[in-house]
């Protein structure tokens, strides 16, 4: 995991504008169905814990050269 990186974001939900301070984490894990399912479940468990409508989760491939 990389150190916490502060970011600022704005978004609109149901006509209301939100301004958030965001934290970004990078996690290196195998790109397998089991990993993706685990992260999806983890994401859903974090929403109520942090009182969030949505949590942005991105998956990308890393090429080792």
Specify if 64 maps to a domain: no
Three-state secondary structure call for residue 33 = helix
Question: Strand 5-13 to strand 16-24: parallel, antiparallel, or no bridges (unpaired)?
Answer: antiparallel
Mean pLDDT of all residues belonging to the chain: 85
pLDDT number for residue 61: 82
Residue 6 vs residues 21, 23, 52, 59: alpha-carbon distances, Å: 7, 5, 17, 20
Specify if 42 maps to a domain: yes
Specify if 38 maps to a domain: yes
Kind and range of the H or E run holding 4: none
Specify if 58 maps to a domain: no
pLDDT number for residue 7: 77
What's the domain count of the chain?
1
Specify if 40 maps to a domain: yes
pLDDT band at 45 (very low <50, low <70, confident <90, very high): very high
**Residue-number span of the structural domain to which 43 is assigned:** 5-49
Specify if 34 maps to a domain: yes
Quote the tokens at residue 23: 């934290």
């Amino acid at each position: 995991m990389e150190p916490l990186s502060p970011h600022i974001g704005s978004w609109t939900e149901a006509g209301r504008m939100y301004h958030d301070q965001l934290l970004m984490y990078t996690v290196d894990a195998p790109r397998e169905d089991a990993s993706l399912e685990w992260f999806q479940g983890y994401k859903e468990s974090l929403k109520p814990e942090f009182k969030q409508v949505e949590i942005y989760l991105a998956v990308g491939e890393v090429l080792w050269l």
